[in-house]
Structure 1
Amino acid sequence: MTIKQLTVLTGNSVSHLSNVISFLSRGGLNIRAHCLVDNGDGFCKLRMVVSEPDKAIEILQQEKLTAVVNDVVLIETDDKPGGLSRMLKLLEKDDIQIEYSYTAASESPGIAMMVFRFSDNLKAVKILDKNGLKLIKSKA
């Protein structure tokens, strides 16, 4: 169970980020999770989980921006010490690597939401699902 994540290359200034976010906001899209990573060359990768990925791609294309789409896994776990550790232990024995992760907005108190891109998303999903972790199909 994976969801779509968009990655946009943008300038690393507040105004560049503000423009991208404004385009999506004006289109009525909700950004449920994001991660901004500096490339070190004046640009940033903006990774986002949005309410309507296909609509977001259209909006960004109209603004001459390219979005790369990747599958990621959105996981819900208890927001308490050991929640992340438990999940990682399940994956550790199967040698699944984490390419990156970041947190997402949660509407429920005591619940942590995390976005992951694994070396093998499908294998990770099977392991996590089998062990009772809640995987979100679409929370955007």
Structure 2
Amino acid sequence: MAYHLSIFVENKPGKLEKITGILTENSVNLRAISVASSGQFGVVKILVNDPDKAFEALRKNHITASKRKISVAIVDDRPGGLHHLLTTLSSNRINIEDCYGFVLEDKKRAAIVVEVEKNPAAEQVLSAQGIQVLSDSEIYTF
């Protein structure tokens, strides 16, 4: 099972820099990031090449983080690409708890990171609809 990290952080200058500094010092490659704040605090979601190493490094530096199960699907980078993925999950009554994405280097496809209630079921229905779901090793090395 693949994971991203969810980090609870105070919404102040330098807090995000501290996280990226710790990752850099521990040779952890940041693949994607999402930041959402609400007032004085925020949640940073990161996809890294080694979530266990990142989690331990953050923990040792007194940063509150949790590992959350994810799936990563590849969709065409065109109008409706993401919609097809969302429709597939919704029609199978699979709720999305978190979602973010980024365009891949070929600029023809996008990687969509989803945190859902039912990961194995989500991966099965996506694959059945012809949506590529990355393996754990592919997620950490693409």
TM-score for the superposition, normalised by structure 2: 0.89
Q: Which consecutive segments of 4 or more residues in structure 1 shift more than 3 A?
A: none
Residue 121 of structure 1 is matched in structure 2 by 119
What letter is aligned with 1:17? L
Residue 66 of structure 1 is matched in structure 2 by 64
Residue 19 of structure 2 is matched in structure 1 by 20
Shift of 1:57: 1.3
Shift of 1:105: 5.5
Stretches of structure 1 lacking an aligned partner (at least 5 in a row): none
C-alpha distance 92-61 of structure 1, shift in aligned 2 (>3 A): closer
What does 1:1-140 correspond to in 2, within 5 Å?
2-40=1-39, 42-104=40-102, 106-138=104-136, 139-140=139-140
C-alpha distance 125-118 of structure 1, shift in aligned 2 (>3 A): same
TM-score for the superposition, normalised by structure 1: 0.90
Distance 1:102 1:61 in 2: 24
Q: Is the 8 A contact 2:103 2:109 kept in 1?
A: no
Higher relative contact order (CA 8 A, sep 6+): 1
Identity %: 27
Distance 1:61 1:105 in 2: 30
What is the aligned residue count? 138
What letter is aligned with 1:59? A
Distance 1:88 1:16 in 2: 33
Stretches of structure 2 lacking an aligned partner (at least 5 in a row): none
Q: Is the 8 A contact 1:9 1:66 kept in 2?
A: yes
What letter is aligned with 2:98? Y
Distance 1:96 1:130 in 2: 15
